[in-house]
Chains A and B, each alone.
Chain A
Amino acid sequence: MNLYLFAIKEDIRQPLNIILIILLPIPVLFIPGHPNSYPFGLSLYGMIIIFSSFLLSRPVVEDRMKGIILRIAASPISTLRYLSSHLLGYLSLLAIQISILLLGSLVIHGDAVTGRLALFSLYLTFGMMCLSLTLAWNVLFKSYNISFGLFSGLASIMCLFSGVSLPLFLLPSSLIRYIMFLPTYWLPYGLDAWFNGNTPAFIQAHAILLVYACIFLLIGSKRRL
């Protein structure tokens, strides 16, 4: 069993994770949008990605908290391979979740939502950023529950002010220049660009999300024995 398959196996062993992956994207599809915009559920789904990332990456955090990381560090496996295999495993599960959302959108919204491949790529990049963010966040804590409790509050506030759980056009423009430093801002920004067919802005959203992902990954890959 390689590390990648082991990471997936560890996650799908938890019934909550299965529910999270399969069922959670469905309800957001029924949330309507502004008449001149995309269904708002597509933006709110970003919040589900954040929390899914946190729950899916639990095993890698627990490895650190339970000391299993010691045994892994004592093996010939490099930290990079260990982390990348796990994150790839979690990203694969997120990819399944995203696919379920997009298939659901095909059934519910039909042709009102187009360019699903582009959306898939945006969500996946956002998912990478979220997984890295949770990894970096958990470096700060020794207890998963405390970490999750604080993260829940912070993530909810971040989503509220960055346009994930509240449409961007409702936010005052004076606030935008500040909230653009929030990594979560770049999902609704990318969604707007996708809806308006603004390809450079769409690519920009991807690029910035990837930069954030790299920064968080660097922080999160710090080995703590």
Chain B
Amino acid sequence: MIIKMEDVMKRFGRNLALDSFNLEMSKGEVIGLLGPNGAGKTTCIRAIIGLIPVDNGEITVFDELQDGKNRAIKRRIGYVTQELTIYEEMSAMDNLAFFGSLYGLSKEQIARKIPEVAKVIGLEGRLHEQSKQFSGGMKRRLNIGCALMHDPELIIMDEPTVGIDPQSRNFILEFVKELASNGTSILYTSHYIEEVEAVASRICIMDQGHTIASGTLPELIARIKGDSHILIDVRISSEEKLKELRAIPEIKEAALLDNQYHIVVPGGIIVFDKIIAVLSSQSIVNVNSKQPNLEDVFLTLTGKQLRDEA
């Protein structure tokens, strides 16, 4: 087992960041950790790495107890931070060398590893440039590269694609898939559901410090199978109408994203007339129903639109 978290609790003052949280990860798995802001994702990651002590429960990483002092565990983890944690005044090469040296790599190992990592992150030929001259995407890739120097067996990626262009995002996603195909275990957190859908072999949805659901994408979708998802585009939207929709007993969940109402209705129940009655004054532009995806799973289980919370 790569990671095992059992009934982990972590409190920050009155706020319960992790509430009897459980997570298991086997070798070679890519787990996508999904949750809105404040769900406890970062706390979970920091507890796994040993950056913060937990109040209750037990965390084992590589079958060893994570107490924050176990350097053998830290040596086997690569941590890709959400913020750019590189030295922008330094060259890409110096950054890679520095972060490699933190993991005890010798000069020879670093010299051998730098071109290899540079190739993987697509920065070969730019190694001697100051990283502050790089584009956002290149900095992100360097940020990832710094976590790969020591060939970690477990990579923890905390929102690695925040604020970058689609091209760089695709590059990173392809690269994560490639890493996973080589047997590296990856814990990947993101606000972008489509990213998690694309890379994760198993998804863990968390909210308010505990696991809401966990499983493969088909398993999660199966949990809400039978529900109808209705999308209604309107010219004028309002929170008042959303409240009215939520008040309809047959409606399981309703959310508003821009000018689109997203309504979840249990299968077989016909409530179109009630919905139309509520929204008739909103100038309906389009009505659609669709097959559930991960976003619907998230919405159904947490009652929140993930992207809105980001």
> Chain A: residues with CB nearer than 8 A to chain B?
1-3, 6, 9-10, 13, 66-68, 70-78, 225
Contacts and interface: CB of A to CB of B under 8 A. Distances in A.
Contact of B99 (A67, A71, A73, A78): A71
The size class of the interface chain B forms with chain A is 20 to 34
B81 interface: yes
A66 B132 CA distance: 14
Given A10-B89, A76-B75, A71 B81 contact: yes
Interface in B56-110: 71-72, 74-75, 77, 79, 81, 83, 85-87, 89-90, 94, 97-99, 101-104, 110
A68 B102 contact: no
Contact of A72 (B46, B71, B102): B102
Interface of B: 46, 49-52, 71-72, 74-75, 77, 79, 81, 83, 85-87, 89-90, 94, 97-99, 101-104, 110, 146-147
A192 B102 CA distance: 44
- Interface core residue of A2, A13, A71 (most chain B CB under 10 Å): A71
Contact of B89 (A13, A71, A225): A13
B89 A74 contact: no
Contact of A6 (B51, B98, B110): B98
B31 to A, nearest CB: 18
B85 A70 contact: yes
Contact of B77 (A72, A74, A78): A74
Contact of B51 (A9, A77, A225): A225
26 contacts: A1-B97, A1-B101, A6-B98, A9-B94, A10-B89, A13-B89, A66-B83, A67-B85, A68-B85, A68-B87, A70-B51, A70-B81, A70-B85, A71-B79, A71-B81, A71-B85, A71-B146, A71-B147, A74-B74, A75-B74, A75-B99, A75-B102, A76-B74, A76-B102, A77-B102, A225-B46
B83 to A, nearest CB: 5
A7 to B, nearest CB: 10
Contacts of A66: 83, 85
Contacts, number: 59
Contacts of B102: 3, 72, 75-77
Contacts of A71: 79, 81, 85, 99, 146-147
Contacts of B77: 74
Given A71-B79, A71-B146, A74-B79, 20 more contacts: A1-B94, A1-B98, A1-B101, A3-B101, A13-B90, A66-B85, A67-B81, A67-B85, A68-B85, A68-B87, A70-B81, A71-B85, A72-B102, A74-B51, A74-B77, A75-B74, A75-B103, A76-B75, A76-B104, A225-B46
Contacts of B81: 67, 70-71
Nearest to B110: A1
Contacts of B87: 10, 68
Contacts of A77: 102
A70 B158 CA distance: 12
A153 B103 CA distance: 40
A75 B152 CA distance: 11
Nearest to A59: B87
Contacts of A9: 94
A69 to B, nearest CB: 8
Contact of B49 (A1, A2, A74): A74
A132 to B, nearest CB: 23
B227 to A, nearest CB: 40
A2 B101 contact: yes
A75 B81 CA distance: 12
